[in-house]
Chains A and B, each alone.
Chain A
């Protein structure tokens, strides 16, 4: 299984600011892309799927760049409750169906 790389952070960001993370993947055949959120010692919770044309869900925007093999997540007007670890996940394709996760980016929103 090829790798998914993320900057581990932590990103310390004041409440109300905009923050962006990137994630790179090494398998060019990868088909499906996701952002999950994980709180300390909890399960990954799906934040959003990432589509080729980019997609938005409220304050969250995800982008996919297949040529450069990275996906991004933008959080606008950050809230204290956004503090968590954000996991990038990829389905490699080629018949594989399990998710390959990055190590996650730790985000701390400061009041």
Chain B
């Protein structure tokens, strides 16, 4: 069964550094998403991406964040200057545009020191 993959599984960085989280969505899917989950809290929507542009973003997704689909398979989330409060699990999800159903990757645990 096709699945969303994410790398790395765990990223440790120093405050102020840039990080790039990578995702490979399911191959025939058209919509891509990033979510985050701070430990003990709910899953929060960050951004959605369709047809090579952002279609929706939340108030969390400020100027420090950016997304890109650099080729036909990868979907990346960049955090320009990480803060302590960016420590969280970051989940990528994709959807085929037909069933309105999003499938999640295993996540990247980001730890900012």
Contact = CB atoms under 8 A, between A and B. Distances in A.
Interface of A: 1, 32, 34, 38, 41-46, 49, 87, 89, 91, 95-104
Give the secondary structure class of A's interface: strand
Nearest to A41: B89
| The 3 A-B residue pairs with the shortest CB-CB distance in the complex, in nearest-first order | A98-B45, A43-B104, A101-B43
Give the secondary structure class of B's interface: strand
B41 A100 contact: no
7 contacts: A43-B105, A44-B43, A97-B50, A97-B56, A98-B35, A99-B102, A101-B42
Interface in B25-83: 31, 33, 35, 41-48, 50, 55-56, 58
B100 A91 contact: yes
Contacts of B99: 49
Size class of B's contact patch?
A: 20 to 34
A49 B33 contact: no
Contact of B55 (A1, A41, A97, A101): A97
A25 to B, nearest CB: 13
Given A98-B33, A98-B56, A45 B104 contact: yes
Nearest to A103: B42
A34 B107 CA distance: 20
A99 B45 contact: yes
Interface string B87-107: 001010100000111111111
